[in-house]
Chain A
Amino acid sequence: MNNFTKGFFKDNPVFVLFLGLCPMLGVTTTAFNGLGMGLATTFVLVMSNLVVSIVKSQIPDKVRIPSFIVIIASFVTMVELLMQAYLPALFDQLGLFIPLIVVNCLVLGRSEAFASKNGVWSSIVDGTGMGLGFAFALTVLGGVREIFGSGAIFGYKFIEGDGMLVFVLAPGAFIALGYLIVMINKINDKTA
């Protein structure tokens, strides 16, 4: 259970470990985009953790990184093909960023740091927890930027007119992220 919940607060990949910031700053202009990217990453994370934990004893140490990357890249390409075929609307929004999951250090980081040292079951749990924590962080950040930047949430406008432009542009992502990190640290301090 601890392996699962740590992804949300204590070891949240974005707010605490600062992994995978590149896709997170790029896609989180709306809550919906953040959620879609987060779930795609979760799928890749769970599948690669699963496979890596199964084959870990068969892979010599010196070639483990190339092997892991090939495994991860395969799953990312699968997500891209499947999304293009069956969820074309979502692919229109995220298509550009899906290949970037390969270089998301979160995925390789979990393979290397967790799945290559732990059993199959706990690797799946770790992947799910970390992935959902990532999705949670992306959705929250996307939501904050969408509320301030365009006065809407999940595409539903509740404030007429334009919001604060800076939140739609890249600097807004850093500002929003900074405040969210402060809040998460506050929560972690209390529970620790």
Chain B
Amino acid sequence: MANKKESTFVTMVLTLFIVTFIASAALGYLYELTKDPIAASKLAKQNNAIMKVVPEFDNEPSKEKYGMFVDGDSLIFFPAKKNGELVGTAVSTFTNIGYMGYIGLMVGFLPDGSIHNISVLEHKETPGLGDKMKKDKSDWSIQFNGKNPADFQLSVTKDGGDIDAITASTISSRAFCDAVQRAYDAYMEGGKQ
């Protein structure tokens, strides 16, 4: 450690400047490099979720999307059409009352307002408990399929609704219902185009 630089004002400022300069240059370069693959993988994930929740379509729903501002965040609608006719709408919806806060869902509605299928986009619920709302963990969310919220109470049985909550995860189940209800309300209120 004999030839170590001395800690004078100039050497310190200079060192920190050089270190941060090189670091930001490297990161900027890498950001440009990974920007397109990241955008592509996000889009693929979105399209994948849309494909799962609506009937077969032949348009590009992610290009015809439109938004609606609800409860301090926006819902995004992806209309799925076949031969120019609307066969279903995928709604990217959310709730903030999950056990760990935010949960993002993609809910597919048929034109008559009934639920076709639901897929989970994003969640931080407890692994082994709340994450059973995902299809690859359990069949819980299948009970929503084919139901029309007009004559189907979207809340857990404990609250007088028609949904059997996930065992030991009533809060996550409630939040899930809340997100679906939000999507349904917005869809009926003018999300149908």
Contact = CB atoms under 8 A, between A and B. Distances in A.
Given A71-B19, A162-B128, A88 B41 contact: yes
Nearest to A116: B1
B interface majority secondary structure: helix
B37 interface: yes
Interface in A55-102: 55, 57-63, 66-67, 70-71, 73-74, 77-78, 81-82, 84-86, 88, 96
Contacts of A49: none
A94 to B, nearest CB: 12
A78 B124 CA distance: 24
A42 interface: no
Bin chain B's interface residue count.
20 to 34
Interface string B126-140: 111100000000000
Nearest to B4: A57
Contacts of A149: 128
B193 interface: no
A107 interface: no
Contact of B16 (A67, A117, A150, A169): A67
Contacts, number: 81
A103 interface: no
Interface in A98-147: 117
B127 A168 contact: yes
Contact of B128 (A73, A74, A84, A165): A165
A84 B129 contact: no
A41 interface: no
Contacts of B129: 165, 168
A88 B48 CA distance: 13
Interface in A160-190: 162-163, 165, 168-169
B73 interface: no
A162 B166 CA distance: 12
Contacts of B30: 77-78, 81-82
B4 A81 contact: no
B23 A86 contact: no
A66 B5 CA distance: 16
A21 B127 CA distance: 19
Contacts of A53: none
B23 A71 contact: yes
B12 A62 contact: yes
A44 B31 CA distance: 17
B189 interface: no
B37 A86 contact: yes
Given A67-B15, A67-B19, A57 B45 contact: no
Nearest to A95: B122
Given A70-B23, A85-B38, A88-B45, 14 more contacts: A57-B3, A57-B4, A60-B4, A60-B15, A61-B7, A67-B16, A82-B30, A82-B34, A84-B34, A85-B34, A88-B41, A96-B124, A162-B128, A168-B127
27 contacts: A29-B127, A29-B128, A55-B19, A57-B1, A57-B3, A58-B5, A58-B15, A60-B5, A60-B8, A60-B11, A62-B12, A63-B7, A63-B12, A67-B15, A70-B19, A70-B20, A71-B19, A71-B23, A74-B27, A85-B41, A86-B37, A88-B41, A96-B124, A149-B128, A165-B129, A165-B168, A168-B127
